[in-house]
Structure 1
Amino acid sequence: MSSDDPAEEGSDATDETFHPLGESWQDELEDLLDDTEYDTELGMEMGKDAMRVTKGELSEEEFHERYHDDVMEEFGEDERPIASPDDGDGEGGVGAMLSKVVAGEESRREMLKKAGAGVGFASLGWGAVDQQEPEEEEAVEEPGEVQPDEDATQWGMTIDLEYCDGCLSCVTACNAEHNWDLGANWMYVLAFEDGDVESPEPDNFESEHDFNYLVRPCQHCTDAPCEKVCPTTARHTREEGGMVLTDYDVCIGCRYCQVACPYGVNYFQWEEPNVDEEELSPDMVYDYRDRRVSSRAPRGVMSKCIFDPARQDGNFGESNVGTVACEVACPPSVIQFGDKNNPNSDPSRYQENPARARALIRLSTSLPSPDELPSMLEGVGTDLASITEAVDGLDEQSIMLATAVRLTNVEYDQEAPPGDTLPSQEETVLGVVSALQEHGLDLESEEVLSELGLTVDQFQGPSEDIAVNDREGVAQQRLEEFIPPSENEFELLEDIGTNPNVTYLGQEPGPNAHQVPGPTSYEDVGMLNRRQDALEEETVGLGPIDSS
């Protein structure tokens, strides 16, 4: 960029630490841009200012005006989807395209240049930005001003870190479905310490749950800074489902999206992919728009977690709509994927009442089948003791929990999205309760509820907060005794204004968080913790990254 370029107005030099993952991460990104043919300073400044837009420190219009000339000069086109108010093309305003010079596909491919290996997850310095001196320029927008369309489907996740066991099944399942090269981890799980919380030694622990985990897919932000810097609209938010995707046929590999991403989820396909093109199913590669956005990326372009468009578009049958590979593979069911705008979806239900959701998951696999229960109860007395003695899988606690599920049942106006499991698990539990009632066990009576410990007078918890006749309140407390709810709910870097569509339950990494060995190593499951482990020799100007 020229020294008098408007991009420098109100913006400090690129050596200032602006990236949430910290100075070393930012330095690595700058080195990676140096190894491409594209303008390093422009990429760093655009990444910095894209984050300022999400924070509300810079308007969308000013951001686009600021970099339009430079983007045109560097790339010969500027297809970023918000127009400069001074374009004078009669189509200005939000949603219009900037004037551009369209390069043919052949010229785009010629522009590709070998670049450095994708950066591994070297640091968890989530608080790095907060430690910088505040900018003097006044904010022009409130953070989080971009609001999602609550009537549209927004695919997202709720992830319960407290019950994650670090098994890495989600990582291997994602790789098996999408064929990304080892180390380019679209799904990433790590154990961490941050000075306030510690994880045990990987060879000396009582339970896998003693570790502090972070499960890191792409956050599929509603206001994604990576999208703001893409000169070709290769990185874009798909209208249907709100997924942030990369069109492999449009991406030119400039890597500016990697700089602008606050979460470190982007990978550059350095060499020819390990899986040949002929081995990829078109049903996996192309979405309903016939855009190439799924499976591993071809050489020279960017890739990341995609929330499985092939599944959401029904390419693999209606039963897989509303699912993702990592969720299906997770043994403790801590990844809940679905429509975040639907209160009846798995991620919404789990986030709203984690204790109840966890109870549903456990009960649905331990209780007898409601269809087989009537035959099991033939000739059995209708009292609680007779039933629990006669039927395997039914004890007083399981019947109490199933009854508590019924007492806390919520009627939703919206139907559950396809692919969700909590509604069917709830149906199973409620079916058992109905079968018991039809057999003659009166689960409405005070006598039976008292036997089950579902009355206030026998409640050992903070019963002063529960009204005398509040059966629902008692039931909720019993569920929370069985599986305590998380004391913390957060979104990664929620103060930065990106509006991520992944919600976490559990310990949030502090500003000094760093990765430590977990109970299962990536080598144990045939994966790589860092892309550099595969590409050190081919990497240009970049040594291994210390992730310890």
Structure 2
Amino acid sequence: MNSDDEPPADEEPFHPLGGAWQDDLEELLDETEYDTELGMEMGKDAMRVTKGELSEEEFHEKYHDDVLAEFGEDERPIASPDDAESEAEGIGSTLLGLARGEESRREMLKKAGAGVGFASLGWGAVDQQEPEPAVEDAGEVEDADEGTQWGMTIDLEHCDGCLSCVTACNQEHNWDEGANWMYVLAFEDGNVESPEPDDFGSVHDFNYLVRPCQHCTDAPCEKVCPTTARHTRDEGGLVLTDYEVCIGCRYCQVACPYGVNYFQWDEPDVDREELDSEGIYDERGRPVSRRAPRGVMSKCVFDPARQDGNMGEGLIGTSACEQACPPNVIQFGDKNNPASDPQRYETNPARARTVINLFTELPSPNSVESSLEGVDANLDAVIDAVDGLTETLIALATAVKITQTDYERDAPPGDSLPDKEETVLSVVSAIEGSGVDLESEDVLSRLGLTVEGFEGPSQDVDVSDREDVAQERLEDYVDAPEEEFELLADIGTNPNVTYLGNAPGPEAHQVPGPTSYEDVGMVDRRQNVLDDETVGLGLRDE
């Protein structure tokens, strides 16, 4: 390939996952028929584009001749030169437009004319700053014309490390053992510690990182693909791989900052005939889901077959990992809709977690209503009449009602938090229907929901009205995460996964968790299955 002066031998690694990871990628590219140096340089510069250090037009022009020479085609998308945005914004603004539904990918292509510790794996480079919104202007999220952007909010502090998400993902998508599209690891970094796997008081004593594909709004992996096999889909902003177009050059694996791509070396463990066809093809008729064929790249796909209704309308807006999560820490949905599960949870995790807990702890609205027939209209009589109903539960349910938010948009299909909240509010309504005035000062004072009667661990909190008191009551009840972060937010990829909880520090490294992969019939390391194979985050030890 044509290149500038060779970099010095001691140059710092460009890949966020560190020098050892970068060396492994280079060795893996050496085993393909394609130009290793071209793949490494393109991966490096693709990340420079997302950082704003190189424009999309410069990137495309720099490698156009080399890509044509190597692959006989160059279908990489670029921003239109006629766009009003500056060159520095490049493809980032174009893809943001796609996320909003302003311009189709087809139109854009026409315009274009065409064992290692966390420190060496780059998680020490996690940016703990306030994450970028899923769109450029958070004030625009109420725009009903905005397109859907599928994404996740993951509560790491309430994760229990059970690996149910990993097994559910495998059962639905049939990827080979160890090529985990979903990965959960326990870690410690010197500041936060995890207990020994055979000596702990609670599974929540461990620190976890849950790692799916981030489905970046500005995905470096897409920028290096010469065939458009790796692409961002118009509908839902999903970053997918067309299995019939992918040539297995593996350049996307180099360009991915998160290490979530897998190459299918041999024939897959599950034969093509065993796969359900409606799960393979998306609404465009492109094969983008389930395990990849031999010689093709694959990764987490956020279940396009579900989002397109191929598996039934009831599964639209859901993912296998989310539905399998016992503690409900994975919230999947439309990141552009404030009423969606991930946005509700991210905006007020204490309230969302309280709703989840109350949904299982409260008696059903019907049982409350039937139990209160003919009962005196006072709080003590209500508590005595309904099995399982306590003053604390009534106080929390009332706090949920007081902090209720009115959304301008409806919640997307598949979301569960609105239904859980409605159940909690129905219990409150059933109590009020018996004649108890849950808005009276006397009752609210007894429930600890008045400014004058506010009591709780957070005594230094300034509460000025009833809503403040209710919110503090929820936060005193739930150990809500204090941190919010995106992985490698400073790279500029604008990932669509938001994390709540402890962010791994510079010295973070993987440690055994309370549940091992062997415990659930899974494989932690792909190398244990095949000697020569691609690796994923946290799958290696020195």
- Pair 472,85 (structure 1): closer, same or farther in 2 beyond 3 Å: closer
Alignment partners' CA distance in 2, 1:448 and 1:442: 7
Alpha-carbon RMSD: 2.7
Alignment partners' CA distance in 2, 1:290 and 1:545: 34
Alignment partners' CA distance in 1, 2:5 and 2:59: 11
Alignment partners' CA distance in 2, 1:370 and 1:206: 35
Which structure 2 residues correspond to residues 222-371 of structure 1 after superposition, within 5 A?
222-371=217-366
Secondary structure at the residue paired with 2:383? helix
Which structure 2 residues correspond to residues 68-79 of structure 1 after superposition, within 5 A?
68-79=64-75
Greater CA deviation, 448-457 or 239-248? Answer: 448-457
- Pair 288,276 (structure 1): closer, same or farther in 2 beyond 3 Å: same
Assess if the C-alpha contact under 8 Å between 2:224 and 2:255 holds in 1.
Answer: yes
- Pair 395,521 (structure 1): closer, same or farther in 2 beyond 3 Å: same
Secondary structure at the residue paired with 1:419? coil
Q: C-alpha displacement at 1:12, in angstroms?
A: 6.6
Q: Which residue of 1 aligns with 2:58?
A: 62
Q: Which residue of 2 aligns with 1:199?
A: 194
Q: Which residue of 1 aligns with 2:129?
A: none
- Pair 129,81 (structure 1): closer, same or farther in 2 beyond 3 Å: farther
- Pair 14,73 (structure 1): closer, same or farther in 2 beyond 3 Å: farther
Paired AA for residue 68 in structure 2: M
Q: C-alpha displacement at 1:8, in angstroms?
A: 2.7
Assess if the C-alpha contact under 8 Å between 2:124 and 2:506 holds in 1.
Answer: no
Q: C-alpha displacement at 1:443, in angstroms?
A: 0.2
- Pair 325,130 (structure 1): closer, same or farther in 2 beyond 3 Å: closer
Say which of 11, 21, 26 aligns to 2:17: 21
Q: Which residue of 2 aligns with 1:218?
A: 213
Q: C-alpha displacement at 1:11, in angstroms?
A: 6.9
Unaligned runs of 5+ in 2: 83-90, 95-107, 127-131
Give the structure-1-normalised TM-score: 0.87
Greater CA deviation, 458-467 or 171-180? Answer: 458-467
- Pair 456,84 (structure 1): closer, same or farther in 2 beyond 3 Å: closer
Is residue 2:181 matched to residue 1:181?
Answer: no
Say which of 432, 455, 466 aligns to 1:460: 455
Secondary structure at the residue paired with 1:241? helix
Provide Cα deviations, 1:355-386, integer angstroms capped at 9, x if missing partner: 00000001111211112322111232221112
- Pair 492,287 (structure 1): closer, same or farther in 2 beyond 3 Å: same
Paired AA for residue 247 in structure 2: I
Alignment partners' CA distance in 1, 2:466 and 2:121: 43
- Pair 144,73 (structure 1): closer, same or farther in 2 beyond 3 Å: farther
- Pair 540,166 (structure 1): closer, same or farther in 2 beyond 3 Å: closer
Is residue 2:525 matched to residue 1:546?
Answer: no
Assess if the C-alpha contact under 8 Å between 2:19 and 2:120 holds in 1.
Answer: no
Assess if the C-alpha contact under 8 Å between 2:185 and 2:513 holds in 1.
Answer: yes
Is residue 2:38 matched to residue 1:39?
Answer: no
Unaligned runs of 5+ in 1: 87-92, 101-119, 132-142
Assess if the C-alpha contact under 8 Å between 1:125 and 1:511 holds in 2.
Answer: no
Q: C-alpha displacement at 1:57, in angstroms?
A: 0.6
Alignment partners' CA distance in 1, 2:539 and 2:533: 12
Alignment partners' CA distance in 2, 1:400 and 1:83: 54
Is residue 2:435 matched to residue 1:406?
Answer: no
Alignment partners' CA distance in 2, 1:387 and 1:247: 59
Q: Which residue of 1 aligns with 2:470?
A: 475
Q: Which residue of 2 aligns with 1:390?
A: 385
Q: Which residue of 2 aligns with 1:171?
A: 166
Assess if the C-alpha contact under 8 Å between 1:65 and 1:84 holds in 2.
Answer: no
Q: Which residue of 2 aligns with 1:134?
A: none
Q: C-alpha displacement at 1:458, in angstroms?
A: 2.2
Paired AA for residue 47 in structure 2: M
Assess if the C-alpha contact under 8 Å between 1:192 and 1:514 holds in 2.
Answer: yes
Q: Which residue of 2 aligns with 1:376?
A: 371
Alignment partners' CA distance in 1, 2:155 and 2:80: 42
Count of aligned pairs between the two proteins: 505
Percentage of pairs with the same residue = 69
Assess if the C-alpha contact under 8 Å between 2:155 and 2:499 holds in 1.
Answer: yes
Secondary structure at the residue paired with 2:248? coil
Secondary structure at the residue paired with 1:535? coil
- Pair 156,14 (structure 1): closer, same or farther in 2 beyond 3 Å: farther
Say which of 408, 411, 414 aligns to 1:416: 411
Q: C-alpha displacement at 1:198, in angstroms?
A: 1.4
Secondary structure at the residue paired with 2:153? strand
- Pair 187,10 (structure 1): closer, same or farther in 2 beyond 3 Å: same
Provide Cα deviations, 1:127-184, integer angstroms capped at 9, x if missing partner: 57969xxxxxxxxxxx999949951100000000000000000000000000000100
Give the structure-2-normalised TM-score: 0.88
Q: Which residue of 1 aligns with 2:100?
A: none
